[in-house]
């Protein structure tokens, strides 16, 4: 993992940052007030976005990263090239949760996906930017290779 500056981001990463920041405002989070926006760059070159949608039954909550991937899949794109998430956090780096990591890995055949987390302060200004990859976050992912051969 490394820390980045805003000017370290590429043009496509800046575009993804703007889209994820914008869609984050649409998050439905009346219980936690924890809004997350995500942008996924598909292998087709398109950017797909998602935000979290909470439910009173938290097990029904949709995570921003999963919503973005679902959006990619509905467009018949099944592989990711880059993931960027935007959320409010002044704490240590905040990356996708375990559930999201596993879903992301389903659409990242080589497990080398670059993941950028943009942490905002309480006024929605960029506080810190972190970069890692899926291998670092999910070194022993569950894949179809884990199934028994029948």
> For residues 62 and 80, what is the distance between their CA atoms, to the nearest angstrom?
19
Global confidence as pTM: 0.93
Is 79 catalytic? The answer is: no
Could you give all domains of the chain from N- to C-terminal order, each with its CATH number? 2-136 (3.40.140.10)
- For residue range 103-136, list pLDDT tens digits in order: 999 999 888 899 999 999 999 999 999 999 999 9
Q: What is the pLDDT of residues 29-49, one digit of tens each?
A: 999 999 999 999 999 999 999
- Catalytic hit among 65, 79, 106, 131: 65
How far apart, in Å, are the Cα atoms of 60 and each of 52, 57, 63, 71, 142?
11, 6, 10, 18, 22
- In angstroms, the CA 41 to CA 49 distance is 9
């Amino acid at each position: 993992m490394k820390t980045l500056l805003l000017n370290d981001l590429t043009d496509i990463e800046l575009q993804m940052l703007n889209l994820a920041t914008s869609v984050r405002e649409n998050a439905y989070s009346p219980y936690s007030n924890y809004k997350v926006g995500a942008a996924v760059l598909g292998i087709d070159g398109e950017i797909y976005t998602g935000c979290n949608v909470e439910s009173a039954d938290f097990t029904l909550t949709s995570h921003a990263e999963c919503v973005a991937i679902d959006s990619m899949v509905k467009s018949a794109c099944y592989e990711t090239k880059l993931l960027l998430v935007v959320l409010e956090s002044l704490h240590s780096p905040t990356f996708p949760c375990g559930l999201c990591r596993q879903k992301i890995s389903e659409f990242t055949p080589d497990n080398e996906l670059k993941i950028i987390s943009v942490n905002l302060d309480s006024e929605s200004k960029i506080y810190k930017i972190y970069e890692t990859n899926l291998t670092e976050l999910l070194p022993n992912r569950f894949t179809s290779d884990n199934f028994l051969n029948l």
